[in-house]
Structure formats: structure tokens, C-alpha cells
Amino acid sequence: MLEGASGVFERGGMKAPEIDKEQVKKLHAKIGELAVANDFFVTKAQAVERQVRRKVIEPANTHLSIGKQCQLLSISRLSFYYQPKGETAMNLMLMRQIDEQFL
């Protein structure tokens, strides 16, 4: 212990961690594979109508937030939450009267 005590205070005394080059190579290959799959998914998802993409979102998914799912599907998060209200009974009656009078 006494022999190695001076090494503790020397600059650069810590050994650099050993890097397993084969493991790094495998991880880079996996990252590349996932990037290609992600690009494929995003391209295919954008080709589908927005209403269909909106139905694909899974609010109960614990791995991807709703915001991230919306981002991947290229739709705004607000459009996921938007619920159309429809017309009121009064507006429908007025539109019907206008149609009867002018059509």
C-alpha cells in the first residue's frame, strides 16, 4: 500500500478504462440498424393520412410519451387531443332555414 500511495496523488494516475473494440463495433452496427429502421418507419408513417396516424398513438405506452409518438408520426400533439365539437342545434336550424330560403 505504501509503495502505491504516491501514485494516488500523481497527475494522470488513473488508468484509462479498457475499451472492447468488438463491443463498440457491435453497438455502432446496432445504432445504424435502428437509424435505418427509424427512417423507414417515419417515411411510411408520413404516407398515411393524418387521421389514421392519429389512431395509431397509444396513450398507455410507457416507453414512448404521447409527444414523442406524435413527433415520430409527424402530427402535432395538439391535434391528438383535439375533439371536434360539432354544430349546435341553433346553428343547424339557422343553416337549414338559409338553405330553404336561398336554394
What mean pLDDT comes out for the span 11-35?
A: 83
Confidence of residue 92 (pLDDT cuts 50, 70, 90): very high
Res 75: pLDDT? 87
Q: How far apart are CA 93 and CA 17, in angstroms?
A: 77
Q: Return the residue matching grid coordinates 488513473.
A: 14
Confidence of residue 16 (pLDDT cuts 50, 70, 90): low
Q: How far apart are CA 12 and CA 55, in angstroms?
A: 56
Res 50: pLDDT? 84
Rg from Cα positions in the chain: 30
Q: What's the whole-model pTM score? A: 0.51
CB atoms within 10 A of CB 57: 16
| All cell numbers assigned to 94 | 339557422
pLDDT for 26-75, tens place per residue? 999 999 999 998 888 888 887 888 888 888 889 998 888 999 888 888 88
Q: How far apart are CA 83 and CA 14, in angstroms?
A: 60
